[in-house]
Structure 1
Amino acid sequence: MIDEPLERLRAAARRTRELALHRASTGLGHQDADDDIGTIGTDGALGFDPFPLLEALHHHGVRAVVIGQVAGIMHGSTEPTGDLDLLWDGAPAHAPALAAALTSVDARLSDEAGDPLPTHPDSLLRPKVQFTSPAAGGDCCTPALPWGDLRPREFLDHAVTAVDPGGLEVHYVCREDLIRMRRAIGRPKDLRRAAELREL
């Protein structure tokens, strides 16, 4: 039997692809997402499938923690998404494996201004980079990103792991930490999703 959080994510990704199937490209990326609707309204929803990158991370031994709405879905949220956001420890020794995982899914990197970066370990040492790949895009963050009063290294320590019968391991932020993140960001979609998570 497939681990329930991963089955929820597979079903949600299928639903996202179905919702976007006949929609024309708008040119909007995940960074252009509406604060209420979220990335389901961007081109990130077209063909959205987080599993190629999640499998690549596992194959390359990268301990990146899923944050954002993909983590919300794994906890039971019913709202769809079109992006995959990640948090990793930012250690230089771990950057080559992360770069290899991203390269294996043909990901392209850019900085926060949208300017291209090489898919190289040094690029990943920035507090945050954006990535796009044929199946999924999103943010790849480190604890060096300004997080206000939040303690992202604790998010890494508290993360939970879902495992499927094939051995795929997906690390994702725990529910309480995700609620804290949602409330701290404070956009309409974040507050709505925090309330949903609290009720689950």
Structure 2
Amino acid sequence: MIDEPLERLRSAARRARELARNRAITGLGHQDADDDVGTIGTDDALGFDPFPLLEALHRNGVRVVVIGQVAGIMHGSTELTGDLDLLWDGVPAHAPALADAFTSVNAQLADEQGEPLATHAASFLRPKVQFTSPGAGGDCCTPALPWGDLHVRELLDRAITAVGPGGLEVRYVSREDLIGMRRAIGRPKDLRRADELDSFASNAYGPPPR
């Protein structure tokens, strides 16, 4: 049986692709996303499907946690996205498996200035790398990336695991930690999405049905 969070994510990814299907190409990627609209307004929404990369990470035994709006969707957010943001522990011994997973889906890496990086283990040891792949682009971060007053490494230990077909395991940040991350960044879309997630706590029936 597929966990409800994964059902939400598959449904949201499908709706994002449908929304973007007949839209004119803009040349904008996730790094160009508007602080209010988000990546659903960029070309990254075209063909958005985070599952090939999530499955590759699982196959390679990478301990990675989904953050950002994909995690928000898994918690019940109604807002669509076109990118996949990830957090891993930054331990050098774990980097080769991470590189293998990204290589297996033909991902390309870039630094924070957009300069290309080799898809090698050493590249992932930066606080943040950007990536693009046929299904999804986004950021892959380590706890070394500053996040306000949050102790980011602790978020990894509190992550939730959703289980899908074939034993696929997708770890994603807890709702409370995601709200904290949203408020620490403070962009209009983050504050709006944090308020949405906060509203679920006062709703005895949980997030709205999808």
TM-score (norm: length of structure 2)? 0.94
**Superposition pairs of residues 115-130 of structure 1, within 5 angstroms:** 115-130=115-130
Give 3-state SS (helix, strand or coil) of 2:35's partner. Answer: coil
2:62 is the alignment partner of 1:62: yes
Q: Is the 8 A contact 2:148 2:185 kept in 1?
A: no
Deviation at 1:24, TM superposition (A): 2.0
Identity percentage of aligned residues: 81
Rounded to whole Å, the distance in 1 between the matches of 2:147 and 2:196 is 22
Deviation at 1:148, TM superposition (A): 2.0
Give 3-state SS (helix, strand or coil) of 2:162's partner. Answer: strand
Deviation at 1:165, TM superposition (A): 3.6
Aligned to 2:74: 74
Aligned to 1:135: 135
Give 3-state SS (helix, strand or coil) of 2:166's partner. Answer: coil
Give 3-state SS (helix, strand or coil) of 2:11's partner. Answer: helix
Rounded to whole Å, the distance in 2 between the matches of 1:85 and 1:195 is 20
Give 3-state SS (helix, strand or coil) of 2:167's partner. Answer: coil
Rounded to whole Å, the distance in 2 between the matches of 1:64 and 1:24 is 34
**Superposition pairs of residues 28-67 of structure 1, within 5 angstroms:** 28-67=28-67
Aligned to 2:208: none
Deviation at 1:23, TM superposition (A): 1.2
TM-score (norm: length of structure 1)? 0.99
**What letter corresponds to residue 177 of structure 1 in structure 2?**
D
Aligned to 1:146: 146
After superposing on structure 2, the runs of 4+ consecutive aligned residues of structure 1 that deviate more than 4 Å are none
Give 3-state SS (helix, strand or coil) of 2:131's partner. Answer: strand
What is the RMSD computed on CA atoms of the aligned residues?
A: 0.6
2:195 is the alignment partner of 1:191: no
Give 3-state SS (helix, strand or coil) of 1:166's partner. Answer: helix
**What letter corresponds to residue 63 of structure 2 in structure 1?**
R
Structure 2 unaligned residues grouped into runs of 5+:
201-210
Rounded to whole Å, the distance in 2 between the matches of 1:50 and 1:12 is 11
Structure 1 unaligned residues grouped into runs of 5+:
none
Deviation at 1:25, TM superposition (A): 1.6
- Give the number of aligned pairs: 200
The Cα offsets for residues 89-131 of structure 1, whole Å up to 9 and x where unpaired, read as: 0010000000000000000000000000000000010000000
